Chains A and B, each alone.
Chain A
Amino acid sequence: MTFKFKNAYIENTSLIAGYYEKLSPYAKYFDKIYEKDFYFKEKSLEQAETKLLSESIDLLLKKSKKTKDEIDVIIAGDLLNQITSSSYAILNKNIPFLGVYSACATSNESIIIASAMIDTKHIGNAICSTSSHNLTSEKQFRNPIEYGGLKPKTATFTATGGASILITSKKTDIKIESGTIGKIMDLGVKDANNMGAVMAPAAADTIARHLFDLGRDINYYDLILTGDLGIFGKEILKEFIKKDYNIILDSRYDDCGAMLYNLEKQKEITAGGSGPVCAPLINYGFVYQMLKKKHFKKVLLVTTGALFSPTFLYQKNNILSIAHAISLEVVEK
């Protein structure tokens, strides 16, 4: 399921990051970094995550010089149960809200929905937001925060941050050219500490279908980025997509999770970053700025999500995964 968009453009983006992200090689593209602690003067960690998302929306409005009335809809999602961080963050914005969930593939899902609504001229401006917080995820999905139990090296590290993007029908430099909706995949992985292996098949399937639907070759793109497979998942994807789909991913391919942290300095992060905000921290920052400078012209962004619930896993079910793709292009004048 791939569609081409005729008039969906990126107006601006905003990124807020946390303590571990300040050492990122791409930290200069973040608008704001909370480097002191994980609470940001809020009472609880959940409220801190809410603040990240809320502030990223306010910052985006300020950067793009738009008022709340000009925004027709906010499409947002996060990792916490019932995507409550998003709901609380958008409570006082007084803008219509659509909640979405695809775990770490949420950002692209929201962009595809917004672009489709803009393309059919139902709306003019939409904000897509997402957030994640390392400690709220640890608390919800894993052991208590202060427990500090050791993890295998294949485990990824949930990124802390809030990211927003403003999509508009008004022509700008960067166009959202097409979007591919992913299918749910299951190749029998049950290891919650190896999410790269869980999500690689979904990424491979979505990339292959995207190229097939549009009749394109992988070389059409200057840059191909997956969401948060991490350094091990990245290699799995390369081997899998070559064997099963005969697509060769060369040096133009990378993974946002593997890129996000300085893995040599940050020893506590072994396989790379993850979480809904992991891909946007690269895509809305580095990739967006590089497209603006025309360093890249055609980019394929594939966000990958593990549709993971501890309850289903403990009941001996496999972990499911999904990947959504969008392609961005520089508008030639």
Chain B
Amino acid sequence: MEKKKYQEIVKRHVAKENKKKNALVAFLIGGLLGAFGNLLIEFYSYVFDISSADAGIYMIITLVFMACLFTALGFFDNFVKFGRMGIIIPITGFAHSMQSATLDYKNEGLVLGFGSNMFKLAGTVILYGVTSAYFFGLIRLIITGGV
């Protein structure tokens, strides 16, 4: 049988993914996480009497710490299964991807285990994040003169 004909049979027996529901859940959970982040900013700027920009850094540290702690305790993956991309896309997902990769290799030692596998998933995000930030910065400089 030709490969094309076989692909047609395969296509007939594929499960329908519930994309609309997944998108809605991700939107709501991601939104709630964003609102929680904003609450943290308000809280820190009020309690410590600092600017919103500084409070933003405190907020990031808090969320990253919580994501790492919950991953290490073993239940953050359940949040991911529930909240889907709403949990993965924000900074919590980035911390979680590093922490989970590290946990896999806890028996292989600090250098060959932890060190070389920590950025297994996050490495791509860092590389293309930094590269695109550089180019977008360059474009902004050319267009607006850096303002």
Q: Which A residues lie at the B interface, using CB under 8 A?
A: 43-44, 139, 143-150, 152-154, 187-189, 194, 197, 201, 232-233, 235-236, 239-240, 243-244, 268, 270-271
Q: Residue B104 contacts which of A144, A201, A236 (CB distance < 8 angstroms)?
A: A144
Q: Residue A147 contacts which of B9, B10, B15, B121 (CB distance < 8 angstroms)?
A: B121
Return B111 CB to nearest CB of chain A, in Å. Answer: 17
Main secondary structure of the interface of A (DSSP, over half): loop
Is there contact, CB below 8 Å, between B9 and A243?
A: yes
Is there contact, CB below 8 Å, between B14 and A187?
A: no
In Å, the complex CA distance between A271 and B13 comes to 11
Return chain B residues, CB-CB under 8 Å to A188. 3, 6-7
Is there contact, CB below 8 Å, between A145 and B13?
A: no
Is there contact, CB below 8 Å, between B104 and A154?
A: no
Q: A147-B121, A149-B80, A239-B9 are in contact. Are A187 and B15 (CB under 8 A)?
A: no
Is there contact, CB below 8 Å, between A144 and B15?
A: no
In Å, the complex CA distance between A144 and B17 comes to 23
Is there contact, CB below 8 Å, between A144 and B103?
A: yes
Is there contact, CB below 8 Å, between A146 and B71?
A: yes
Q: Residue A187 contacts which of B3, B17, B74, B101 (CB distance < 8 angstroms)?
A: B3
In Å, the complex CA distance between A150 and B101 comes to 16
Is there contact, CB below 8 Å, between A149 and B88?
A: yes
Is there contact, CB below 8 Å, between A145 and B100?
A: yes
Return chain A residues, CB-CB under 8 Å to B16. 153
Encoded as 1 (CB less than 8 Å from any A CB) or 0, chain B from 90 to 110 comes to 000000110111011001000
Residue of A nearest to B117 (CB): A144
Q: B12 within 8 Å of A by Cβ?
A: yes
Is there contact, CB below 8 Å, between B9 and A144?
A: no
Is there contact, CB below 8 Å, between A153 and B10?
A: no
Interface size class of B (residues with CB under 8 A): 20 to 34
Is there contact, CB below 8 Å, between B3 and A232?
A: no
Return B78 CB to nearest CB of chain A, in Å. Answer: 7
Return chain A residues, CB-CB under 8 Å to B10. 189, 194, 197, 236
Encoded as 1 (CB less than 8 Å from any A CB) or 0, chain B from 65 to 87 comes to 00000010010111011001000
Residue of B nearest to A147 (CB): B100
Is there contact, CB below 8 Å, between B17 and A152?
A: yes
Q: B120 within 8 Å of A by Cβ?
A: yes
In Å, the complex CA distance between A51 and B81 comes to 30
Q: Shortest 8 CB-CB distances between A and B: which pairs?
A: A148-B77, A153-B15, A188-B3, A146-B100, A144-B100, A148-B80, A44-B107, A147-B100
Is there contact, CB below 8 Å, between A147 and B101?
A: yes
Is there contact, CB below 8 Å, between A243 and B1?
A: yes
Supply 30 A–B pairs (Cβ within 8 Å), ascending by A.
Answer: A143-B100, A143-B121, A144-B104, A144-B120, A146-B74, A146-B76, A146-B77, A146-B104, A147-B77, A147-B97, A147-B101, A148-B77, A148-B80, A150-B81, A152-B15, A153-B15, A153-B17, A154-B15, A187-B1, A187-B3, A188-B6, A189-B10, A194-B14, A197-B10, A232-B14, A239-B9, A239-B12, A239-B13, A244-B1, A270-B15
Is there contact, CB below 8 Å, between A147 and B80?
A: yes
Return A199 CB to nearest CB of chain B, in Å. Answer: 12
In Å, the complex CA distance between A147 and B93 comes to 9
In Å, the complex CA distance between A143 and B98 comes to 11
Besides the known contacts A43-B107, A44-B107, 18 further A-B residue pairs in the complex with CB atoms under 8 A apart? A144-B101, A144-B103, A144-B120, A144-B121, A146-B99, A147-B80, A147-B100, A147-B101, A149-B80, A150-B80, A152-B17, A154-B15, A188-B6, A232-B14, A236-B9, A239-B12, A240-B9, A244-B1
Return chain A residues, CB-CB under 8 Å to B104. 139, 144-146
